[in-house]
Amino acid sequence: MENDLEYIYLVQKKAALLQGIMALLSWDEKTHMPNDAIMERADQLKLLQDEIYMLLTSRKLSSALCRLRNQRLASRHRMIITELHKDTQKLRRIPKEFLERLTRAETIASQAWEKARKKDDYSLFAPHLKRLISLKRKEAGYLNPKLKPYDALLDEHEEGMRESRLTDLFSYLKEELVALLKKVQETKAYKNHKELELDMPKEAQESLYHELVRKMQADGEALSIDCSAHPFTTRISAHDVRITTRYLNPLEALFSTVHEAGHALYEQNLPSGFRDTVIYNAPSMGIHESQSRLWENVIFRSSEFWDGYHDEFISHAKKKIQKSSLFKGINQVRPSLIRVQADEITYCLHIILRFEMERDLISGKVPAKDARSVWNKRTKSMFGLKPGSDNQGILQDMHWSLGAFGYFPSYAIGTIYASQIYKAMEKGIPNIRKHIMSRDFKSIVDWLTKNIHSKGRTMTAEQIIRKATGSGLDPKIYIDYLHDKYSKIYRFD
């Protein structure tokens, strides 16, 4: 038994090291690597991926885990064994040849997506999407043959989440959001809104946003920030978490930077006692997104924050803007075609559109060849807008091209969790609004570390949220948050 325990810790340590190395290879690919090296980088990644697969699917590990599961062990060990067993059994059910086929198909599909984006033509991507869908259905069967395919895929990103629950959740959310949007649209402020025009040198943005991230890091280490086409966060080792950002326009860069820094705080504050084990991870994508969206939206788009930050921020802009105009511009509500530019009210509508699309694609109700027309029809009915092109429509997100079906709902779940967390923090942290105004984030980081980050995978996401906020996933709190905030900005009841 002693040896089995030692062995499973050793395997996890080795897997963690290899995963960290893979994270570095990927980070580098997107930040520093010359384009010409892409094939060799793929070979390097595949080599390590194969090693991790062999390590985690070995009969030796499986036998050790089986023996350990029948032992009486301290709860720490039991927790690790349960999660590791779950992960590895799932992996063992997927044949290696299939996994390789899927990976190859994803690589080809994402290249096809890039090409289709360049030509702004979905039909170049459609056959690849079709092939991916068929492979993902097959993968779902391996992952959990007892579940509906889409449920099995959902479960990978949000353990325990089911299509039926999401259908209910989203139907409530849609109704409430549409109603709220209507209220906003009927106000004078909405009708009179002028487009925000903001210009700021890249160097100024860089130094401002790096400083904000340092404030978010409270007393932690400085976080490394590089540029990449699509911002992301990665953990190379426990002491080496990195984010990337991009500078398209000043506000997008700000929100994108603090969004990633929110993810980074999670990765940096995982339970150190569980380092190099499966527990040293977030339990779901939804709870991870709750952290990025808490910082991005709830904190950094709040009136408290901009009350305290406006003067410093605008002093770096090429043209001055009044405090109230900037704040309203930042929180401008407007139905639009592009998810990543959406405001807080319409954002989840974009997610619901994608949920419905991928659910129907995976079930076969919508064939890949019809996806464009269905997308456009549903966009029209959801937002009253018609995509001017595929890039503004079905080609706008890269997720499906990477095989990430069932991921989109995590954004909505995270958004809802974020509002729940903020409500709980308001109770738990005296003067939180003052802290936000003065950019003194230590109490917030401490609260998040204690109640969210340091739990790792010792509980499910919903258990963590329930313990931290008093309730499970609760869209009503999100609607209340939105109502409260936007009724003040747009002046309605």
Residue 26 binds a second copy (CB under 8 A): no
Q: To the nearest whole angstrom, how small is the minimum distance from the Cβ of residue 238 to a second copy?
A: 6
Query: Which of 1, 37, 66, 179 touches a second copy (CB under 8 A)?
Result: 37
Bridge partners, 235 (sequence order): 241
Residue 58 binds a second copy (CB under 8 A): no
Query: Which of 20, 271, 367, 428 touches a second copy (CB under 8 A)?
Result: 20
Q: Which stretch binds a second copy (CB under 8 A): 17-25, 131-139, 298-306, 436-444?
A: 17-25
Q: Which stretch binds a second copy (CB under 8 A): 101-109, 134-142, 231-239, 252-260?
A: 231-239
Binding residues among 166-225 for a second copy as defined by CB under 8 A: 221-222, 224
Binding mask 238-257 for a second copy (x = CB under 8 A): xxx-x---------------
Q: Which stretch binds a second copy (CB under 8 A): 19-27, 247-255, 329-337, 389-397?
A: 19-27
Dihedral-angle region of residue 53 (phi above 0 means left; psi in -120 to 50 means alpha; beta otherwise) = alpha
Residue 320 binds a second copy (CB under 8 A): no
User: Would you say 43 or 195 has its CB closer to a second copy?
Assistant: 43
Query: Which of 49, 187, 237, 471 touches a second copy (CB under 8 A)?
Result: 237
- CB-based burial label for 44 (10 Å; 0-12, 13-18, 19+): middle
Q: To the nearest whole angstrom, how small is the minimum distance from the Cβ of residue 244 to a second copy?
A: 12
260 is annotated as an active-site residue: yes
Residue 36 binds a second copy (CB under 8 A): yes
Question: 156, 260, 267, 462: which is the annotated catalytic residue?
Answer: 260
User: Would you say 45 or 317 has its CB closer to a second copy?
Assistant: 45
User: Would you say 13 or 365 has its CB closer to a second copy?
Assistant: 13
Residue 47 binds a second copy (CB under 8 A): yes
User: Would you say 23 or 91 has its CB closer to a second copy?
Assistant: 23
Q: To the nearest whole angstrom, how small is the minimum distance from the Cβ of residue 3 to a second copy?
A: 20
Query: Which of 6, 40, 211, 312 touches a second copy (CB under 8 A)?
Result: 40
Residue 338 binds a second copy (CB under 8 A): no
Question: Could you tell me if 16 and 280 are in contact, meaning their C-beta atoms sit under 8 angstroms apart?
Answer: yes
240-245 sheet: strands from edge to edge: 224-227, 240-245, 233-237
User: Would you say 40 or 186 has its CB closer to a second copy?
Assistant: 40
User: Would you say 46 or 466 has its CB closer to a second copy?
Assistant: 46
Q: To the nearest whole angstrom, how small is the minimum distance from the Cβ of residue 219 to a second copy?
A: 13
Q: To the nearest whole angstrom, how small is the minimum distance from the Cβ of residue 222 to a second copy?
A: 7
User: Would you say 55 or 178 has its CB closer to a second copy?
Assistant: 55
Separation in Å, CA 268 to CA 2, 7, 210, 271: 31, 26, 17, 9
Q: Which stretch binds a second copy (CB under 8 A): 26-34, 71-79, 208-216, 277-285?
A: 26-34
Q: Tell me the site size for a second copy, rule CB under 8 A.
A: 30
Residue 11 binds a second copy (CB under 8 A): no
Residue 104 to residue 339: CA distance in whole angstroms: 28
Q: To the nearest whole angstrom, how small is the minimum distance from the Cβ of residue 46 to a second copy?
A: 9
Binding mask 280-319 for a second copy (x = CB under 8 A): ----------------------------------------
Q: Going by C-beta distance under 8 Å and a sequence separation of 6 or more, which residues neighbour residue 242?
A: 27, 223, 224, 225, 226, 233, 234, 236, 264
Q: To the nearest whole angstrom, how small is the minimum distance from the Cβ of residue 16 to a second copy?
A: 9
Residue 297 to residue 343: CA distance in whole angstroms: 9
User: Would you say 55 or 437 has its CB closer to a second copy?
Assistant: 55
Beta strands at 224-227 and 233-237: parallel, antiparallel or unpaired = unpaired
Residue 8 binds a second copy (CB under 8 A): no
From 245, 213, 249, select the one nearest 232 (Cα to Cα).
245
Q: Which residues are catalytic?
A: 260
Applying CB under 8 A, the residues found at the interface with a second copy are: 14, 17-18, 20-21, 24-25, 28, 32-34, 36-37, 39-41, 43-44, 47-48, 221-222, 224, 226, 236-240, 242
